[in-house]
Structure 1
Amino acid sequence: MAVSTSVAGATSTAASLAPASRPPRSGAATAVLLVLSALLGAAGTTYLAAAGTSLGAQLDAPDLWFRENHPALRPVELGFEAARSWTAAALGIWVVAWLLAGLAVRRGVAVRWLLAVGVFWSVPLLIGPPLFTADPWFYTAIGAAVQNGVDPFEYGPGVLGDVDAVRGAERFWRFSPTPYSPPFVALLSGLSWLFDQNLLAVLAAIRVLCVAGWAVCALLVCRIAQRLGGSPAVAMWLGAINPLVLVHLVSGNHNDALMLALLLPGLLLALYDRPLLGILLCVAGAGIKATALVAVLVIGVDWAQRQDGWPARLRALALAGGLGAGAFALSVQLTGWGWGFLDNLDVPGKALESMTPTTALAFALDVDDPPIDGTRVAGVVVAVVVSLLFLTRLRSWGLVRVTSWIALTVILTSSVVWPWYLVWPTMLFAAAGVFAERLLVVAWSVLMLFTVLPGGHSVTDLYSRPLVDQIALGVLGVALVAGLVHVLRSRRRRTDPMPEPAR
């Protein structure tokens, strides 16, 4: 069987930058690094779990978890400034621990030890309440609403009134229809039915599913990296035990964990020249979050490009597109809710967050009457054009890197950006990215950890507009300029003539 260009196109760059090419320097120093990393990280996550969600919380209802926040760590006791400082310090300690684990990776540490460290960090997160988000409580509310006869694509679960399983959802989502794909809503309804709409039981079930999804992702990022000739240890460190990943998949229990647990094996199957099976798995991921359809597009185009002649390419593209669209349509129709969820895809965009580039641009242009609609339309145009350009790089960059860049483009040009949205490109770049892309992942992983308070409020809400929007645009602008400079320098190095050998 011929090796697909999606594999061959990424092997050379990934392998050339893999720390595995360094002579292993395992020993006492490496063990000390890992132990220190494990202890520091666990100290950070233990504080976060003990302090709980009270900082910046819209979760004011009682008994939303199996225990209450530690009384002495509540902001009313510490003071809100002190509480924010302690939270930032805990996150900072965890970041230091993660970077120490990265040093151990450079010394040739085994993947299993990295995973053990990540699991050790995660123990407090597993015990503590969902942090840095209120989404899991919205999930329980959706399931309870469906069980009580509410169409979740027409009404928010708040129409049920004072129902136990609904009270944890923040007010905005309590009275908003859901933007989630119908198969995911069917899953939430099934969990609510199975556990008799018991709030804590459904939350625990969602956590179990999300943690299982994270475990699948941890395995698969290593497998993808290995398939592409890269370093499984780097993939584990950057893509699986990354604090940004753990805090939002293991603790925050976002449905991105379930989506990625289906999307990553789909991409791996495509790398093993099983594109149609890969498409079906990515469609299943789109049943959790519709953005997974991006991977269906990339797999289809990649498979078509590897055919001989235009007729064969067009047939492959038509088959891939038809299979993807047909499977997704069937999954939606089988739920019985139809396509009303498409009208709700813009609901998250009602949160005018400064960390969203299109929103920040609108407020930077006119803080009193921001042209939100105009900047979002411009974002869609940019996403389409840039994504098409990335598709032309499939042969040289490979399937996974192109999927990573298109996913990142779609995220940054969308109507709302939250830190957990970046988990998807984080994992893909960890598995297949080149050195500069991995540095970018390290930078945003650290930065985005500090953009949300434990209760779910955005840190940018603490500052005035348009200054905070201008800062957000400035950070993005610096990143774009740095990327452009890197690309230009890389091209110059490739085109510079080789020096004549000395005679």
Structure 2
Amino acid sequence: MLKIMTRQRPGRRKARALATYLIDLSPDDMKRRLPEALRVYVDAMRYPRGTEEQRAALWLEHTRRAGWKSPGSRRPGRRRRPSQRHVHSLMTRLPTETPNAGVAQHLSRLAAFAVSADARPARLGFLGAALLTIGGLGAGSTRLHDPLLETLHLSWLRFGHGLVLSSILLWVGVATMLIAWLWLGRRVIDRTAGEYTMVATTGFWLAPLLLSVPLFSRDTYSYLAQGALLRDGFDPYVVGPVQNPNILLDNVSPIWTTTTAPYGPAFILVAKFVTMLVGDDVVAGTMLLRLCMLPGLVLLIWATQRVARHIGASPATALWVCVLNPLVIIHLMGGVHNEMLMVGLMMAGIALAFRQHPVWGVGLIAMAVAVKATAGLALPFVVWVWARQLRDRHDHPPVRAFALATAAPSRSWRRSSR
């Protein structure tokens, strides 16, 4: 086992250091540190194949951060010979215990994270998101006639001094989230924040925004109006929302009232189903549309980690840049933009193409194009990756491999359309 670990090319120094550390651990020490070992293994299983070297690097990083000292280093005399039983107990016995962890165990881990020092940026970002949600009631993209605010006697937040107060809360929330993001970035650079911290922090920052009004954009109301067009028998690619007067039209920006739909048919169908479920209820439609964007965020998290590992980058850093970026959290999710769904599908397609599934990758990118056409910019790069895979797998010349990769999607499309 030690030979396997030390022969791995990347992270060889960490693997050797881990082997030295494990030599001095007694069975009692291993048992006492089992909870931390389980947590390390859960993180390690996020790697594609869960190789020994990757688990070794994670274990060493966690022990370094926790400040554990090897009990054998304090013993005088000669060190014991390497005990493969100790290595085996960590590397092979732990896998049989962690996959059976239930929802309660994951929730307890999340609760432990919430009160730990690692969650300080997450808690600060949660505060910023809460300020955004409160400030958005007056300074956000609210409805022109909002009976909800009137019922709660909060209409004063939209006018005069109330609007000033709402704007201050809104921009203080933005600044707070930016500070939290930069603080988290320092921890990522110092390697004191891993993938689990990134994913959990995403949940912390997103939770308050799920209840907010659309922020910095009125596109949500345009989505609902275009979905209502299709629901009521109009063609959104021929006429604009002005042809279907209703409550939804009152909240659409004037520039979009006479404009035909610039989005793909898949997203127009999503908007249609939302309006079929909630009717002309703007509040319920906005909330449901935001929930429809959540799969895009989940796909983005899943794909970002795998693409980062494929190119040899840090998954935690990639999550910090691509997922926790305020542009994603505040603008795409807070503003309820369909680009969130498009980017998630596109990134998932790229990740599948890297993992030797180019046909599925092209299919997901095609779905992203059906949400918004700009996702098609990723297709030439996927064809490039596919051509390289064909060249390496079948020893095709570059030109022939590129031709096969370009023609294969069209052949599969013709077969599926028969």
For the aligned pair, the TM-score class normalised by the smaller chain equals 0.5 to 0.7
Counterpart of 2:359? 276
| Contact 1:141–1:168 (8 Å) recurs in 2 | no
| Contact 2:137–2:166 (8 Å) recurs in 1 | no
| Contact 1:283–1:324 (8 Å) recurs in 2 | no
Question: Which of the residues 202, 205, 217 maps onto 1:118?
Answer: 202
5+ residue gaps in structure 1?
A: 1-18, 331-503
- 1:144 deviation in Å? 0.9
Q: Under a length normalisation based on structure 2, what TM-score does the superposition of the two structures give?
A: 0.65
- 1:194 deviation in Å? 3.4
- 1:88 deviation in Å? 2.9
- 1:310 deviation in Å? 5.0
CA distance in 2, matches of 1:210, 1:166: 22
CA distance in 1, matches of 2:178, 2:60: 24
Question: Which of the residues 230, 244, 259 maps onto 1:146?
Answer: 230
1:82-101 counterparts in 2 under 5 A? 84-101=167-184
Counterpart of 1:402? none
CA distance in 2, matches of 1:204, 1:67: 19
Question: Which of the residues 266, 281, 299 maps onto 1:198?
Answer: 281
- Mean CA deviation greater in 94-103 or 19-28: 19-28
Report how many aligned residue pairs link the two structures.
308
Counterpart of 1:411? none
- Residue 235 of structure 2 corresponds to residue 235 of structure 1: no
1:364-375 counterparts in 2 under 5 A? none
CA distance in 1, matches of 2:249, 2:336: 17
| Contact 1:75–1:83 (8 Å) recurs in 2 | no
Q: Partner amino acid for 1:128?
A: S
Question: Which of the residues 410, 414, 417 maps onto 1:322?
Answer: 410
- 1:231 deviation in Å? 1.3
- 1:284 deviation in Å? 0.9
5+ residue gaps in structure 2?
A: 1-56, 68-112
| Contact 1:136–1:254 (8 Å) recurs in 2 | yes
- Residue 256 of structure 2 corresponds to residue 256 of structure 1: no
Q: Partner amino acid for 1:241?
A: L
Q: Which structure has the larger Rg?
A: 2
Counterpart of 1:179? 262
CA distance in 2, matches of 1:147, 1:90: 37
CA distance in 2, matches of 1:239, 1:272: 20
- Residue 242 of structure 2 corresponds to residue 158 of structure 1: yes
Q: Give the superposed CA RMSD.
A: 3.3
| Contact 2:226–2:236 (8 Å) recurs in 1 | yes
CA distance in 2, matches of 1:20, 1:185: 44
What's the CA shift string for 1:413-448, capped at 9, x where partnerless? xxxxxxxxxxxxxxxxxxxxxxxxxxxxxxxxxxxx
CA distance in 2, matches of 1:72, 1:35: 35
- Residue 300 of structure 2 corresponds to residue 212 of structure 1: no
SS in 1 for 2:233: coil
What's the CA shift string for 1:314-341, capped at 9, x where partnerless? 531431463698799x7xxxxxxxxxxx
Counterpart of 1:107? 191
Q: Under a length normalisation based on structure 1, what TM-score does the superposition of the two structures give?
A: 0.55
- Greater relative contact order (CA < 8 Å, ≥ 6 in sequence): 1
Query: Residues 244 and 318 of structure 1: is their aligned pair in 2 closer, same or farther, counting only changes over 3 Å?
Result: closer
CA distance in 1, matches of 2:122, 2:359: 41
Query: Residues 23 and 113 of structure 1: is their aligned pair in 2 closer, same or farther, counting only changes over 3 Å?
Result: closer
1:320-399 counterparts in 2 under 5 A? 320=408, 322=410
CA distance in 1, matches of 2:151, 2:195: 34
- Residue 386 of structure 2 corresponds to residue 303 of structure 1: yes
| Contact 1:153–1:178 (8 Å) recurs in 2 | yes
CA distance in 2, matches of 1:327, 1:262: 23
- Mean CA deviation greater in 31-40 or 111-120: 31-40
Counterpart of 2:130? 46
Aligned identity (percent) is: 26
CA distance in 1, matches of 2:297, 2:141: 26
Query: Residues 191 and 32 of structure 1: is their aligned pair in 2 closer, same or farther, counting only changes over 3 Å?
Result: closer
- 1:249 deviation in Å? 2.9
CA distance in 1, matches of 2:244, 2:357: 46
Q: Partner amino acid for 1:26?
A: R
Counterpart of 2:37? none
SS in 1 for 2:313: coil
Query: Residues 63 and 166 of structure 1: is their aligned pair in 2 closer, same or farther, counting only changes over 3 Å?
Result: farther
CA distance in 1, matches of 2:138, 2:405: 50
CA distance in 2, matches of 1:35, 1:304: 43
- Mean CA deviation greater in 19-28 or 51-60: 19-28
CA distance in 1, matches of 2:166, 2:258: 30
- 1:250 deviation in Å? 2.4
| Contact 2:137–2:158 (8 Å) recurs in 1 | no
Query: Residues 40 and 158 of structure 1: is their aligned pair in 2 closer, same or farther, counting only changes over 3 Å?
Result: same
Q: Partner amino acid for 1:184?
A: F
CA distance in 2, matches of 1:67, 1:263: 42
Query: Residues 63 and 222 of structure 1: is their aligned pair in 2 closer, same or farther, counting only changes over 3 Å?
Result: farther
